[in-house]
């Protein structure tokens, strides 16, 4: 696990700002504010994993219900991550947003989610043990 320094924080916040810029531009340029749902989706995406991670005891191998709760969280996180890509495609297919707006919101959403994931990876070490 690489050590997270000041440069990492600056780079991550820069990437997050670029992601938000892309999503907001994709809304504002075409006056259709549906792509903001992508931001909500990607912010909600780590939440099931987080909640179920606190509910379960992963060291408990005798009773496998703990692993089942963890799996439930992973299932919903996977659901939300794919939803963030599928939602702009759906909106563009029905002409609710235009195709460039779809591309911009998908790229922006992936940047936002990548920032959240790498932030959690870099700063997870302090929580364990």
Partner 1 sequence: MEEDRLWKFRRPEWLNSVWARNAGVYAAGGLFSLAFFTLLDSAVWSKSGFNGSALHVTFVDWLPFIFSSLGMLIINSVEKARLSADSFSYSGSGVAWKARVVLFLGFAALAGGMAGGVTVFVLKFAVPGVPFPALTMGIENLVANALVGLSSVVLWVSQNMEDEYSYNLSL
* Interface contacts to partner 1, rule CB under 8 A: 61-62, 64, 67, 71, 74-83, 86-87, 89-91, 93-96
CB of 68 to partner 1, least distance (A): 8
* Shortest Å, Cβ 100 to partner 1: 19
SS3 59: coil
- The CA-atom distances, in angstroms, between 73 and each of 33, 49, 76, 83, 115 are 29, 4, 5, 15, 20
For partner 1, the closer of residues 79 and 123 by Cβ is: 79
Please, what is the minimum distance in Å from the beta carbon of residue 94 to partner 1?
A: 4
Q: Is the Cβ of residue 39 or residue 52 nearer to partner 1 in the bound state?
A: 52
Distance CA 129, CA 1 (A): 15
Cβ neighbours of 10 (radius 10 Å): 10
Q: Are 127 and 21 in contact (CB under 8 A)?
A: no
Q: For the chain, what's the residue count?
A: 129
Nearest approach in angstroms of CB 42 to partner 1 is: 13
Return the number of the residue (3 or 95) whose C-beta is nearest partner 1: 95
| Complex with partner 1: residue 18 or 36, whichever CB lies closer | 36
């Amino acid at each position: 696990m690489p050590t997270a320094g000041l440069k990492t924080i600056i780079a991550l916040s820069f990437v997050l700002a670029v992601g938000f810029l892309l999503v907001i531009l994709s809304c504002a340029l075409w006056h259709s504010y549906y792509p903001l749902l992508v931001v909500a989706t990607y912010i909600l995406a780590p939440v099931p994993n987080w909640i179920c991670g606190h509910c379960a005891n992963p060291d408990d191998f005798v009773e496998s219900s703990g692993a089942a709760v963890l799996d439930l969280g992973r299932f919903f996180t996977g659901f939300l991550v794919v939803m963030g890509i599928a939602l702009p495609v759906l909106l563009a297919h029905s002409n609710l947003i235009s195709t460039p707006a779809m591309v911009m919101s998908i790229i922006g959403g992936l940047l936002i989610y990548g920032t959240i994931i790498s932030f959690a990876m870099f700063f997870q070490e302090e929580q364990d043990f």
